[in-house]
Structure 1
Amino acid sequence: MLANHLDVISIPLFLAGSGLLQTLCLIKLIRLSIENGHHVAQFFRACAWRSQWWVRSFGEADKTTEERGIAREVRSLRLRLAHIYLNFFVVITGLSVISIQLGIAQDRQSDAPPAFYWTILLMFALSTILFLFPRMLHSLTMDMFHLALMVASAFLLSPWCTRPDSIQYMSIVILAFLRLPAASFATRPSVAVASNIGVLVVMLLRTTLDDGLQSSSNCQMTGVVVRAVVVTEVSALVLVAGISLSAEVLLRKTVQQHRQYNEAANELSAATSLLRLTCDAVVELDEDLCLTEHSPELAAILLRDRPGSTLQGVKFTDFVATTEEAVQAAELLNGRESLNGCVSTHAFHTRLMDTSSSKFSTELFQVKYCKLGNTVRHLVGLREVADQQSLVKSDANEAVAGPADADDSSMSCPYRLFNSVDYGESSSAKSLDLDRYDKTDRPIVYLFLDMESCCIGAASVVASSLVGMKLAGLFPGRGFEILQALWAEVDRCEDASELNLFTQKQHFFREWLVQWSPSQSDFVDGVVEILQSTNGSHGLLLRCKASLLSSPSSGGAKSAEVPGKPSLLPVLPGMPFQDKVLTLQ
C-alpha cells in the first residue's frame, strides 16, 4: 500500500516538474528566437541550401567546375575514411569469429541461431577480401560496401539471427559498430539515410508483428518497451543522418581550407619568385622582425658572409643605418594591416649599413601574410639602388634619411668635380654642364694595387704618375681601410673554391676621397676586382674613368686651378658598370 501511495504522489510531481522545465526551456527558446531572428533565418536558409544535396547529388551536370573539384576531393577523403574503417572492421569481425570458434571448441555455444554465426562469417569474409585486395575498395565501390554493411545489419536484427530477448542489445551494438561509422564514408548523405531506413523498417516490423517479441516472458516486453524501441530506432536514424551531413560539411570545409592554403602558398611562391627576380636578396621576417633563416645574399651585401656566421634570429632593424630610420622602417613594416587578414604589400626606401659602417640606399618590397595559427610573417625583398634606377614611387611614408653623414655613400647628389678650397661655396657657383661633358669619351684608368707593399704597383699611361704612390696617401680615410679589409677577406679564404666564389663578386665603391696631390682631391666611383698571377699570388685592380682634359701625369691638374673658379680634376667619377653585386664605401 505504501509503494502504491508513493507512486500516486510521485507521478503528479514528476509531471509537474518536467512540465515546468519544459516551459522554461520553451520560453528561453522563444526569447532567443526573437532576439536573434536574423541568425535563425540564416540557419534555416543554410539548412535549405544544404538540403539541395537530395537533388544535386544526382546531377553532376548542374555543378560548376569548382564544385565538381570539391566533390572529387571530398570523395577521396571519404575513401580514406573507408579504408581506415575497413581495418577496424577486420579486427572486430575477426575477434567475433575467434569467440565463436572458442565456444565451439569448449562446447559452450550460445543460444544464438546458426544464421547469426554465418552472417558474422560472411562479414569477416567480405572484410578479409577487401583487406587483402584494398584496390577493390575505391570511389565507385564505397556505396556497395556501405550497402552490404546495412543489409548485414538489418539481417542481424531479423528473427533468423537475433532472439527477442537480445534485440535491444543487438540494436545498440550494431548502431555503435556498423551504422554510425559507415555513415561517414557513404558517398552521399542520401545513400546513408536511405540504407538505414531498411534497418528502421526491420525493427518496426519486429516490434509490431513479431509474436515472440510481444509475448516473451523472459524479457517481459510491454507496450512501453515497444515504444522505447521505436523511439530509439527513430533517434538512431536521425543520428545517422546528422553524422552523415556533419561529415559532408566538415569534409567540404577541410577541402576548401586546403584549397585556400594551396592558393596562398602558390601566391607566396609567386611573390617570392618575383622578388628574387627583381631584388638582390629576399628574406623572411617573423612578427618581431627577426630573420627566420640565414640569407647568404643579404650576408654578402652586408659583408657578413664569413664562414660560420649566420643571420638567423637577428633583428632586421639592426641592419638599418640610424636609430631613427630603424624606428621608421619598423613602423612601415608593421603599420599596414593585411587585406582581409590575409596578404598585404608595401614598398619604401631606407638605408642599410654594412660591417664597414658604410651606408647605402635600399628599396624594400614587403609582402605581409599570415601562416597557420595567425602567425604573422614578412617576406621582404631588398634592392640596392646605389647605381640602379629606383622601382619605388615617391611616397610620403618612405623611411627618409636624416641629415647627410660625411661618410654616407647613398647620396645621389651631383658629382663633386672641384678643388677642396671651393667646397664651401654655393653649389650654383660651381655647377657644370655634366650632361654635355659626359657625351665625350673618357678613358678608363686602371690601377694595380700592391697590397703587400701598400702602394700603386702599376697604372694606366694616363695615370702613370701615380705608380709607387702609397695607398694611404692616395685614398686617405676609410678608402684605404676598406681596401685593407677586402684584402684581409682574400687572405682568410682557405681553399680555391671559397676564393673563387669570393672573386666572382664585383666590389663597387661610391664617392671615395682621392688625394691626387696635396692641393687637389676628389670623390670618385669605381670598382675593385681581385687578380691572380701565374705564381698564385693575388692583387687588387681598381678602375675608374679619367678626364680627357688633364691627367695626373700631365700636370694639368695644378694648371687648371684658378682661384674662385671650379677646376676639373684628373679623374672623373663614373659608374659605367651595371652588373653590381656588392658596394664598398
Structure 2
Amino acid sequence: MEFTHSGVHPFAIASLAVEAIFALKVLCLACSYGQLIKQKVRNAAAALGRFASQPYISRRSAEEKIRFEEVLQLRVQMIPFYMVCCVVMSHLGLMTGLFHVAWDGWMQPGGYWTSLALCVVNMTYLFNPRVVSKPTMNLWYVLHMTFGALYLAPWSIAPAQTFNASLAVLALIRLPAILLASTPLLVVGCNLGVSALLVVRTMSETWAPPACNILQPALTLLCGEVLGLALTTSSAFLLNGLLHHKVKRDTRHKNTTTQLVAASSLLSITCDAVVELDADLRITKDSPQLTTMLLRDRAGATVKGMMFTDLMPTEDEAERAYEILSGRSCTETAAGREEGIYANAFHTRLVDSCSSKFRTEVFQVAYSQVDGQVHHLIGLRDFTDQTALAGEKAVDAKEGCVSSTIDEFPWEPAQDRSHGRERSESEEMSVDDTVFLYVDMQRWRVTAASLTVAYMSGKDLGELFSENGLKLLQHIWEEATGEQEDLMYPLHQLKVHCGDGQYAKISGRVEVAKAQTGEICLLLYFKPTRHILRSYCPPSPADAASASMSVVSVSEDAPVVHHSL
C-alpha cells in the first residue's frame, strides 16, 4: 500500500495496533463474561417481546393505565424546557439562513422557507403554551419530524450538503423530539420514514462529480443514517424504560409510605407508645408517650438519641432484643417480606426512672428508606397486667428462635408500677371459675388445693410443673422473699403435668402469702382445663355440706383461705 503523505504510514501502523489491542480485549471480555452477555441479550430480547406484546391502552389493566398516564405526565413536565429550546434554536437557524442567503446561499430556497415555517410554528407556543399538551404531544412530534424530513428533501438541500444536514437534523430535531412521543413505536415509524427518504435520494441523485467515486458519498450518508436511526430508536426505548422505572419506584415509595402510615396508626391505637429507630437502634424523634411510660415526663426530659436497648434492665435482654430487631435471629423469616418491609413481635422488659421493671410487648415494622438505611417503627405495650396481643405469633412462642420461652419469662410484680396500671375488666378472673394451689417453696410441694384439683395437694412440684415452670416459680419466690406481702404476679401459659406424658397450659396469677411460721409461700390462682379436671370426682351432698370451704389441706403451716367454688 502506497501513501501520498509521509506522515500517514506511522499513523496507519499506530491505528492498526490500537484496533488489534481493542479486538483482543473484546475477545477476552467475551470469553470471560460469555454467560452474562448471553443473559443480558436474552433479557433485552424478552423486554422487547414484552413491549411488542403489550395490549393497546384500552385493553390494559387499571394499574398499567395509571402507570402509562403518570409516564405521560412526566413527559408533559418536560415540555416547557423542550419547547423553549426549540424556539431558541429555530430562531438561530432562521438567522443563520439569512446570513447564508446574503453571502453564499449554500441551501436551496425550500430550506429557507422550511426554517421560517418551523420558527413560526414554534412561536405559537410562546403565545399559547396550551397548544402543546398531553393530547397533542404525538401530533407535535409528527410535526417536528415532518420538518426534519423537509430539511433533507431535494428542494431544501443539495446532495453535496445532505450528510451535514442529516447530522444537524439528528442532533437538533430527531433526538430531542423523542420527549414528545408517547410510545417508542411512533419514534421508530417516523424515523424509518426519514431513513427511506435518504435511501431514495442516494439511489436517484448524483452525489459527486464524474471524476470521483460516486459510491463513497452515498455510502457515507447511508452509514451515518443507519447509526442515527439506531441511536434515535434506542434512545426512545431507553427514555421510555427510565420513565417507567421512575414511576414504578415512586409508586413503590408511595405504597411504602402509605403502609408505614397505616402501621403507625394501628400501633398508636394498640400500643402505649410508638417510636422510630434508625439503623443503629437509636430513637430518632422524641416521644411524649414513651417518656410518660418510663416516668420521665418532666420538663426538659427527652428520649431522642437514646439507644433502645439502654431501656432494658439486663445485658442479656438488651442483646436478645438487638438480635431480634437487627434480623439476626430466626425471626427474620417469621413475617412475610414485601417492598422491603417486614414485621415482628416479641416480649421483653423495660425499666423506668424508678428502676421498676415491667413486661413490654414490642411490635416491630422494619423498612428501608430511599437512601438504603434500615429504620424500625416500634410499638411498645405494657402488658404487665394484661394478655399479650401477639400470642403464639410472638418470637417467644416460636420454638428454637430464642433461648427464652414463655414459661421461663421473668414476670414482674404488678405493684411495682407506681403509676397505677389496672387490670381490665375483661381480664379479671371470675371466682367461680378459678381454683388455687398453696405452694410451699421450701418443701417444694403443694400443701393445699381447691377441691376440684384436690389430687394435686401433697404432690411435689416436680411432678406437676415443667422445668421452665419450676424456674419461674423459683424466680418469683426468690424475688418475693423479704419483700412486702400480697405481691401479685401475672401467670401466662404455665405447663402443668396431667399424666400419661401430657401437659396442659394454665393462665392466672401468683400471689405471695405468709404462713403462721412467717415463711413466704405462693398462692397460684388459675382456670383449670378439661385435662386438669379429669381426676376430679364430684362429692356427695353430705361431703359437700361438710366442706363449705373448697380447700384440702395437708399441712399445719398452710394459711386459712376461703375460696368458694
- TM-score, scaled to structure 2: 0.65
Shift of 1:182: 1.4
Q: Report what 2:222 is aligned to.
A: 230
**Change over 3 Å in CA distance of 1:564–1:24 after alignment to 2:** closer
Match of 1:140 among 132, 135, 150: 135
Match of 2:266 among 269, 274, 284: 274
User: Are 1:290 and 1:316, in contact at CA under 8 Å, matched by a contact in 2?
Assistant: yes
Counterpart of 2:416, as a letter, is: S
Where 2:416 maps in the other structure, the secondary structure is coil
Cα distance in 1 for residues equivalent to 2:42 and 2:105: 51
Q: Report what 1:94 is aligned to.
A: 91
Stretch of structure 1 that moved more, 246-255 or 224-233 = 246-255
Where 2:342 maps in the other structure, the secondary structure is strand
Shift of 1:290: 0.4
Q: Report what 1:488 is aligned to.
A: none
Deviations 1:110-154 (A, max 9, x none): 554443333223222222223443333233311111111111111
Structure 1 residues not aligned, in runs of 5+? 416-421, 436-475, 479-509, 514-518, 524-562, 570-585
1:332 aligns with 2:328: no
- TM-score, scaled to structure 1: 0.63
Cα distance in 2 for residues equivalent to 1:253 and 1:177: 27
Shift of 1:180: 0.9
Counterpart of 1:67, as a letter, is: E
Q: Report what 1:583 is aligned to.
A: none
User: Are 1:358 and 1:408, in contact at CA under 8 Å, matched by a contact in 2?
Assistant: no
Q: Report what 2:67 is aligned to.
A: 70
Q: Report what 1:245 is aligned to.
A: 237
Q: Report what 1:311 is aligned to.
A: 303
Shift of 1:5: 9.4
Cα distance in 2 for residues equivalent to 1:368 and 1:82: 40
Q: Report what 1:205 is aligned to.
A: 200
Shift of 1:307: 2.9
Residues 483-494 of structure 1 correspond to what in structure 2 (within 5 A)?
none
Counterpart of 2:559, as a letter, is: P
Match of 1:214 among 205, 208, 216: 208
Match of 1:151 among 118, 126, 146: 146
Deviations 1:232-291 (A, max 9, x none): 011101111111111222222222222222222222222222222211111111111101
User: Are 1:304 and 1:355, in contact at CA under 8 Å, matched by a contact in 2?
Assistant: yes
Q: Report what 1:445 is aligned to.
A: none
Shift of 1:297: 0.9
Cα distance in 2 for residues equivalent to 1:424 and 1:9: 105
Q: Report what 2:76 is aligned to.
A: 79
**Change over 3 Å in CA distance of 1:327–1:10 after alignment to 2:** closer
Shift of 1:348: 1.1
User: Are 1:56 and 1:62, in contact at CA under 8 Å, matched by a contact in 2?
Assistant: no
Q: Report what 1:486 is aligned to.
A: none
Cα distance in 1 for residues equivalent to 2:441 and 2:5: 117
User: Are 1:349 and 1:399, in contact at CA under 8 Å, matched by a contact in 2?
Assistant: no
Cα distance in 1 for residues equivalent to 2:376 and 2:18: 59
Cα distance in 2 for residues equivalent to 1:193 and 1:200: 10
Shift of 1:191: 0.8
Residues 134-533 of structure 1 correspond to what in structure 2 (within 5 A)?
134-211=129-206, 213-215=207-209, 222-334=214-326, 335-336=328-329, 337=332, 339=337, 342-391=340-389, 392-393=391-392, 394-395=397-398, 397=402, 409=416
Cα distance in 2 for residues equivalent to 1:38 and 1:130: 48
Shift of 1:203: 2.5
User: Are 1:86 and 1:127, in contact at CA under 8 Å, matched by a contact in 2?
Assistant: yes
Shift of 1:8: 11
**Change over 3 Å in CA distance of 1:331–1:55 after alignment to 2:** closer
Shift of 1:66: 3.2
User: Are 2:125 and 2:131, in contact at CA under 8 Å, matched by a contact in 1?
Assistant: yes
Deviations 1:186-208 (A, max 9, x none): 11211101111222233233334
Shift of 1:55: 5.7
Counterpart of 1:323, as a letter, is: E
**Change over 3 Å in CA distance of 1:241–1:511 after alignment to 2:** same
Q: Report what 1:546 is aligned to.
A: none
Cα distance in 1 for residues equivalent to 2:58 and 2:411: 69
Where 1:372 maps in the other structure, the secondary structure is coil
Where 1:364 maps in the other structure, the secondary structure is strand
Cα distance in 1 for residues equivalent to 2:85 and 2:225: 24
**Change over 3 Å in CA distance of 1:172–1:221 after alignment to 2:** farther
Cα distance in 1 for residues equivalent to 2:210 and 2:303: 82
Where 1:147 maps in the other structure, the secondary structure is helix
Cα distance in 1 for residues equivalent to 2:30 and 2:316: 61
Counterpart of 1:134, as a letter, is: P
Shift of 1:7: 10
Q: Report what 1:453 is aligned to.
A: none
Cα distance in 1 for residues equivalent to 2:214 and 2:12: 22
Counterpart of 1:566, as a letter, is: P
Cα distance in 2 for residues equivalent to 1:130 and 1:398: 72
Counterpart of 1:409, as a letter, is: D
Report the count of equivalent residues. Answer: 443
Where 1:214 maps in the other structure, the secondary structure is coil
Structure 2 residues not aligned, in runs of 5+? 430-438, 453-481, 485-508, 513-517, 523-555
Where 2:175 maps in the other structure, the secondary structure is helix
Deviations 1:199-230 (A, max 9, x none): 2233233334334x43399xx88532321111
Where 2:111 maps in the other structure, the secondary structure is helix
Cα distance in 2 for residues equivalent to 1:230 and 1:302: 79
User: Are 1:292 and 1:313, in contact at CA under 8 Å, matched by a contact in 2?
Assistant: yes
**Change over 3 Å in CA distance of 1:15–1:286 after alignment to 2:** closer
Counterpart of 1:64, as a letter, is: S
Where 2:145 maps in the other structure, the secondary structure is helix
Cα distance in 2 for residues equivalent to 1:314 and 1:216: 87
Match of 1:566 among 554, 559, 562: 559
User: Are 2:114 and 2:151, in contact at CA under 8 Å, matched by a contact in 1?
Assistant: yes
Shift of 1:25: 6.8
**Change over 3 Å in CA distance of 1:196–1:216 after alignment to 2:** farther
Bigger relative contact order, structure 1 or 2, given CA contacts below 8 A and separation 6+? 1
Counterpart of 1:87, as a letter, is: V
Cα distance in 1 for residues equivalent to 2:243 and 2:384: 53
Cα distance in 2 for residues equivalent to 1:233 and 1:429: 97
Where 1:196 maps in the other structure, the secondary structure is helix
Counterpart of 1:85, as a letter, is: Y
Match of 2:45 among 44, 47, 51: 47
Cα distance in 1 for residues equivalent to 2:253 and 2:86: 34
User: Are 2:385 and 2:414, in contact at CA under 8 Å, matched by a contact in 1?
Assistant: no
Counterpart of 1:295, as a letter, is: S
Deviations 1:318-349 (A, max 9, x none): 11122221121111211254747822222111
**Change over 3 Å in CA distance of 1:522–1:89 after alignment to 2:** farther
**Change over 3 Å in CA distance of 1:233–1:385 after alignment to 2:** same
User: Are 1:153 and 1:178, in contact at CA under 8 Å, matched by a contact in 2?
Assistant: yes
